[in-house]
Amino acid sequence: MRPDGLHGSGAGLAPVATRVAALNARYRHHGAVAVLEHALKDADLGRVALVSSFGAESVVLLHLVSVVAPQTPVLFIDTRLLFPETLAYQRDLADRLDLRDVRVIRAGLTELALADPDTALHSRDTDACCTLRKTVPLDRALSGFDAWITGRKRYQGDTRATLDFFEEEPGTGRIKVNPLAHWGKEDVADYMLNNRLPRHPLVARGYPSIGCAPCTSPVAPGEDERAGRWRGSAKTECGIHFIDGRIVRRPTQDNAA
């Protein structure tokens, strides 16, 4: 925690809003590779990590980072409820792409024993389970960074329609980097095909969006890609958000992670 109460390690850096404006102006006409290649070395960004779920489309951003800056820390949240296939895929990709600083983030065993002793919290309160197993561990892991890379894209919803490469994360003192902001779904598919990148094994089994095993089910033809997430409830996102410096839990279409 910084002396001003905000997260990140950027002592001496200019205010976040100032740096975000400068970075967007500097790299506005660059592509995803150039944003990563140049911006990751930019003093205005500070210390940067990539947050990845190693999910259905994660391999694109992981591959880009492995080519441009393989030393970039990669934060992978293991909720201890993930599919075995996800854990195996994570290990395989880390080795195949030569990712040199993968950090597996987990809630502490003592925390889990106190808040979820029967490992059934997900069946009673999905928001509380996500907070315990994802939101709090990620916030803790990001506390030493000034920025983090996300896979968010403009086509993913109206709230992302004007998404920039760089944006301020309110209340945290951090910057979110969205190198794939201008990519369409076809760009993602083409990149995976052209670079012969391995798909998550569950995609072929009807899981186009992959989360924790107890809360993810296959999707039928014609259903929305996220229909299998928390099926039967109004919840559509794990809801990792930071507002006014506090973690906020809520279902939303504008999830950052």
Here the tokens at position 7 are 């997260």
Least confident of 4-18, 99-113, 174-188: 4-18
Chain segment 124-139, per-residue pLDDT in tens? 998 899 999 999 999 9
Fold of domain 16-248: Rossmann fold (3.40.50)
Name the strands in the sheet holding 147-149, side by side, starting at the edge strand that comes first in the sequence.
102-105, 74-77, 48-52, 147-149, 174-177, 166-169
Separation CA 207–CA 248 (nearest Å)? 27
Give the phi and the psi of residue 221 in degrees, each rounded to 5. -55, 135
Separation CA 117–CA 119 (nearest Å)? 6
Separation CA 24–CA 115 (nearest Å)? 42
* Active-site choice (130, 212, 215, 238): 238
The amino acid occupying position 185 is K
Domains of the chain, by residue range, sit at 16-248
Q: DSSP assignment, residue 212?
A: B
Separation CA 152–CA 179 (nearest Å)? 8
Chain segment 65-107, per-residue pLDDT in tens? 999 989 999 999 999 999 999 999 999 999 999 999 999 999 9
Cα R_g (the chain), whole angstroms: 18
Separation CA 227–CA 68 (nearest Å)? 34
Q: What is the pLDDT of residue 238?
A: 56
Is 212 assigned a catalytic role? no
Least confident of 2-11, 190-199, 221-230: 2-11
The amino acid occupying position 236 is T
Strand partners, 75: 51, 103
Q: DSSP assignment, residue 70?
A: T
Separation CA 66–CA 25 (nearest Å)? 26
